């Protein structure tokens, strides 16, 4: 038995399997069609779903499902301090609200789905130890007994000398401990961490291909990073290598902040004789503030939280479409050409992902969301608005839920057609849009500029003739007929040719009627609005308005 074998047996007496055996027996290649990709979303269960997390999960989900592959949810809970109760179901539910679903992982309350688990890192200790033992056997990892104080002192000394700080090269004291000393320390119960014995030297370079960014060349790793902490729990670096190997992940989609540690990961794969996955480092979602860009921050920016968007009333599909348009410049063209297709039909391609920092842009989100809502049916708008109002606007909910068929009709006005209106970008816009359809909600009124006397004449005359049962032509014919006797032109062009001859034109007359009935200068089709309000309510509103003119 070599010294390394003896050390491996000493450190991991319970481990009987080898990585090779695991990969042959419990984690064999997946029976998937050619070209199918396996991805994973790997959040920590902190209870906070960041918009960047939704973005990453969406990229994972699209990549896997469009290739007929598998999308895994893996929970990275090695940092117990950051964990909260219910963190996992919050992630699963939070993402499923955006239509992002996984095939494997801790998807149900107490059960895991899939044959490549466990999917929660804290349940995987024995698997990490199999790979750790293998590294020790190969002479590529060793136990380090240095205390935190010793490490801090080393760092201070290195800083004073102006050398790269860290546990590396000749500074890595425990690299060369005599086997007897190691044995003695272990027997004495001294705590240890497992460190990589890095084969790298300062100044060496490494190259790898990133699916999004192309070839990346950077300094190779030469630091003996920690692989297992003193409680036997792996660091991110080691867990990534073991988990993505055993889960047969083909594409590692992760934030660009991980590029810096990719050389460590590549070294680990190489030392273990394993093939690394393809890396796809996604851009960080940034925010522009006072002319400079910074990361969208959980602490400072409410819109960093995925939940912000459902609270504000953005339909989940709108947030997804916005993220797809950020991710991929081809999305918007595709959307224009396929206005009715679900976003799932977009041929998303990882290698077309934009690699520059994505800027979060609320105006853009509003515009995308306005388009999404404009494409919905009236019943979908009603249902979305009602569900949102139930949680966020009791009075609006009461109004919409009291008569769903009336609500559907009001949202149907001017819906569809070539140039649909985009008044509603989010459900919180619905109250302002729909309030005048409900006496109990109606609060805001815009002012009509025409002189009150003239307005009164118009409305008095209109009250004599209007009938909610009129079809649109008759209705407008009546409004035109009011014009001449009141000194208005029934024809806009005639008015423009000689404005001095008129008090205004037919548009001004109907504007007065519109303001009296809705309190708005701009509404969807007034004829349809009046038909929905009904004869009695229209008459009452015009009379009420006339009273306000008298005061
Ligand atoms: N838990 C890591 C993170 O949240 C996962 C990174 C990865 O996907 O590998 O950043």
In this prediction, residue 476 carries a pLDDT of 95
Give the list of residues 6+ apart from residue 480 with CB closer than 8 angstroms, or none: 490, 506
Decide: 277 and 64 in contact? Cβ < 8 Å. no
C-alpha pair distances (Å), 8 with each of 36, 149, 218, 394, 463: 37, 27, 32, 65, 96
For atom 6 of ligand 1, the residue with the nearest CA is 254
- From the CB of 373, is ligand 1 less than 6 Å away? no
In this prediction, residue 46 carries a pLDDT of 86
Looking from the CA of residue 258, the nearest atom of ligand 1 is 6
| Position 129 pLDDT exceeds 80 | yes
Q: How far is the CA of 499 from the centre of ligand 1 (A)?
A: 68
Q: How far is the CA of 19 from the centre of ligand 1 (A)?
A: 23
Phi, psi (degrees; rounded to nearest 5) at 190: -70, 135
For atom 3 of ligand 1, the residue with the nearest CA is 43
Q: Is 142 exposed, middle or buried, given 0-12, 13-18 or 19+ CB atoms closer than 10 A?
A: buried
Decide: 477 and 462 in contact? Cβ < 8 Å. no
- From the CB of 254, is ligand 1 less than 6 Å away? yes
- From the CB of 39, is ligand 1 less than 6 Å away? no
In this prediction, residue 399 carries a pLDDT of 98
Categorize the per-residue pLDDT at 48 as very low, low, confident or very high, splitting at 50, 70 and 90: confident
| Position 313 pLDDT exceeds 80 | yes
**Measured CA angle at 247 (ends 236, 255), to 5 deg:** 45
- From the CB of 482, is ligand 1 less than 6 Å away? no
For atom 4 of ligand 1, the residue with the nearest CA is 43
- If we measure between CA atoms, which residue out of 117, 177, 122 comes closest to residue 145? 177
Rounded to a whole number, what is the distance in angstroms from the first to the last CA of the chain? 104
For atom 8 of ligand 1, the residue with the nearest CA is 254
Q: How far is the CA of 488 from the centre of ligand 1 (A)?
A: 69
Mutate to test the pocket of ligand 1, among 46, 251, 255, 277 (most ligand atoms within 8 A of CB): 255
Whole-angstrom distance, CA of residue 57 vs CA of residue 312: 21
Whole-angstrom distance, CA of residue 86 vs CA of residue 67: 31
Phi, psi (degrees; rounded to nearest 5) at 217: -120, 130
Q: How far is the CA of 74 from the centre of ligand 1 (A)?
A: 9
For atom 7 of ligand 1, the residue with the nearest CA is 254
Categorize the per-residue pLDDT at 190 as very low, low, confident or very high, splitting at 50, 70 and 90: very high
| Position 82 pLDDT exceeds 80 | no
Categorize the per-residue pLDDT at 77 as very low, low, confident or very high, splitting at 50, 70 and 90: very high
Looking from the CA of residue 76, the nearest atom of ligand 1 is 1
- From the CB of 240, is ligand 1 less than 6 Å away? yes
What are 53's strand-pairing partners? none
Decide: 441 and 431 in contact? Cβ < 8 Å. yes
In this prediction, residue 37 carries a pLDDT of 98
Helix axes 526-533, 404-412, angle to 10 degrees: 170
Categorize the per-residue pLDDT at 180 as very low, low, confident or very high, splitting at 50, 70 and 90: very high
H helix runs in 231-361, sequence order? 236-246, 262-271, 306-312, 316-327, 330-337
Q: What is the pLDDT of residues 417-450, one digit of tens each?
A: 888 889 999 999 999 999 999 999 999 889 999 9
Looking from the CA of residue 257, the nearest atom of ligand 1 is 10
Beta-strand pair 285-289/358-359: parallel
In this prediction, residue 444 carries a pLDDT of 86
Mutate to test the pocket of ligand 1, among 254, 276, 281 (most ligand atoms within 8 A of CB): 254
In this prediction, residue 1 carries a pLDDT of 75
Beta-strand pair 488-489/504-505: parallel
The average pLDDT across 445-464 equals 94
Q: What is the pLDDT of residues 1-20, one digit of tens each?
A: 788 999 999 999 999 999 99
Q: How far is the CA of 356 from the centre of ligand 1 (A)?
A: 19
In this prediction, residue 123 carries a pLDDT of 94
Q: What is the pLDDT of residues 375-412, one digit of tens each?
A: 999 999 999 999 999 999 999 999 999 999 999 999 99
| Position 219 pLDDT exceeds 90 | yes
In this prediction, residue 187 carries a pLDDT of 94
410 SS3 class? helix
| Position 352 pLDDT exceeds 90 | no
Q: What is the pLDDT of residues 506-520, one digit of tens each?
A: 999 999 999 999 999
In this prediction, residue 486 carries a pLDDT of 95
Task: Check whether the bond before 118 is cis (ω within 30° of 0).
Answer: yes
| Position 83 pLDDT exceeds 80 | no
| Position 357 pLDDT exceeds 90 | no
- If we measure between CA atoms, which residue out of 119, 91, 99, 87 comes closest to residue 58? 99
Continuous segment of H or E residues that includes residue 533: helix 526-533
Categorize the per-residue pLDDT at 47 as very low, low, confident or very high, splitting at 50, 70 and 90: confident
Q: How far is the CA of 196 from the centre of ligand 1 (A)?
A: 21
For atom 9 of ligand 1, the residue with the nearest CA is 254
Please tell me which residue, 268 or 110, carries the higher pLDDT value.
Answer: 268
- From the CB of 77, is ligand 1 less than 6 Å away? no
Decide: 316 and 51 in contact? Cβ < 8 Å. no
Q: What is the mean pLDDT of the chain?
A: 94
In this prediction, residue 62 carries a pLDDT of 96
Mutate to test the pocket of ligand 1, among 53, 124, 242, 258 (most ligand atoms within 8 A of CB): 258
Q: E strands along 220-306, which residues?
A: 226-228, 251-255, 278-282, 285-289, 292-295
Phi, psi (degrees; rounded to nearest 5) at 483: -65, -60
In this prediction, residue 186 carries a pLDDT of 94
In this prediction, residue 32 carries a pLDDT of 97
| Position 185 pLDDT exceeds 90 | yes
- From the CB of 76, is ligand 1 less than 6 Å away? yes
Decide: 104 and 42 in contact? Cβ < 8 Å. no
| Position 358 pLDDT exceeds 90 | no
Looking from the CA of residue 253, the nearest atom of ligand 1 is 8
What are 302's strand-pairing partners? none
H helix runs in 417-522, sequence order? 430-434, 452-465, 472-486, 492-497, 506-518
- From the CB of 508, is ligand 1 less than 6 Å away? no
In this prediction, residue 353 carries a pLDDT of 86
Q: How far is the CA of 327 from the centre of ligand 1 (A)?
A: 19
- From the CB of 42, is ligand 1 less than 6 Å away? yes
Q: How far is the CA of 299 from the centre of ligand 1 (A)?
A: 19
Whole-angstrom distance, CA of residue 551 vs CA of residue 544: 11
The average pLDDT across 176-194 equals 95
Decide: 136 and 197 in contact? Cβ < 8 Å. no
Decide: 9 and 134 in contact? Cβ < 8 Å. no
Give the list of residues 6+ apart from residue 335 with CB closer than 8 angstroms, or none: 321, 325, 346, 371
């Amino acid at each position: 038995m070599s010294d390394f074998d003896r050390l491996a047996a000493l450190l991991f007496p319970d481990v009987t399997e080898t990585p090779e055996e695991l990969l042959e027996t419990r984690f064999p290649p997946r029976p998937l069609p050619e070209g199918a990709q396996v991805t994973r979303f790997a959040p920590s269960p902190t209870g906070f779903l960041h918009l960047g997390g939704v973005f990453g999960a969406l990229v994972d989900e699209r990549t896997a499902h469009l290739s007929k592959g598998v999308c895994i949810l893996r929970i990275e809970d090695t940092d117990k301090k950051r964990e909260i109760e219910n963190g996992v179901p919050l992630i699963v539910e939070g993402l499923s609200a955006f239509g992002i679903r996984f095939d494997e992982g801790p998807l149900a309350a107490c059960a895991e789905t899939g044959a490549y688990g466990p999917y929660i890192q804290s349940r995987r200790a024995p698997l990490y130890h199999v790979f750790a033992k293998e590294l020790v056997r190969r002479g590529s990892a060793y136990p380090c007994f240095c205390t935190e104080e010793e490490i801090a002192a080393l760092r201070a000394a290195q800083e004073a000398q102006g050398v790269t700080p860290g546990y590396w090269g000749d500074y890595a004291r425990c690299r060369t401990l005599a086997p007897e000393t190691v044995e003695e320390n272990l027997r004495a119960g001294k705590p240890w961490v497992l460190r990589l014995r890095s084969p790298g030297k300062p100044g060496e370079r490494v190259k790898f291909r990133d699916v999004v960014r192309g070839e990346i060349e950077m300094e190779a790793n030469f630091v003996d990073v920690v692989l297992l902490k003193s409680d036997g729990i792996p660091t991110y670096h080691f867990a990534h290598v073991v988990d993505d190997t055993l889960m047969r992940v083909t594409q590692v989609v992760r934030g660009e902040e991980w590029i810096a540690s990719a050389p460590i990961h590549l070294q680990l794969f190489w030392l273990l004789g394993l093939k690394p996955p393809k890396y796809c480092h996604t851009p960080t979602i940034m925010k522009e503030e006072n002319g400079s860009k910074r990361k969208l921050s959980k602490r400072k920016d409410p819109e960093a939280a995925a939940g912000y968007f459902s609270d504000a009333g953005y339909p989940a599909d709108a947030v997804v479409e916005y993220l797809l348009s950020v991710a991929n410049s081809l999305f918007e063209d595709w959307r224009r050409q396929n206005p009715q297709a679900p976003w799932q039909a977009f041929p998303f391609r990882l290698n077309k992902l934009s690699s520059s920092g994505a800027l979060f842009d609320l105006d853009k989100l509003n515009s995308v969301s306005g388009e999404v809502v404009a494409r919905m049916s009236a019943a979908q708008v009603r249902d979305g608005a009602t569900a949102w109002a139930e949680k966020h606007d009791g009075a609006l909910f009461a109004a919409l839920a009291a008569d769903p068929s009336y609500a559907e009709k009001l949202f149907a006005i001017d819906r569809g057609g070539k140039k649909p209106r985009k008044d509603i970008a989010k459900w919180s816009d619905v109250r302002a849009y729909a309030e005048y359809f409900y006496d109990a909600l109606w609060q805001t009124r815009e002012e009509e500029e025409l002189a009150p006397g003239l307005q009164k004449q118009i409305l008095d005359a209109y009250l004599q003739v209007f009938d909610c049962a009129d079809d649109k032509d008759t209705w407008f014919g009546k409004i035109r007929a009011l014009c001449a006797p009141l000194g208005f032109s029934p024809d806009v062009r005639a008015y423009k040719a000689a404005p001095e001859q008129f008090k205004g034109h037919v548009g001004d007359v109907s504007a007065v009627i519109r303001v009296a009935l809705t309190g708005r200068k701009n509404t969807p089709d007034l004829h349809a609005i009046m038909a929905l309000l009904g004869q009695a309510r229209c008459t009452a509103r015009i009379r009420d308005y006339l009273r306000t003119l008298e005061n």
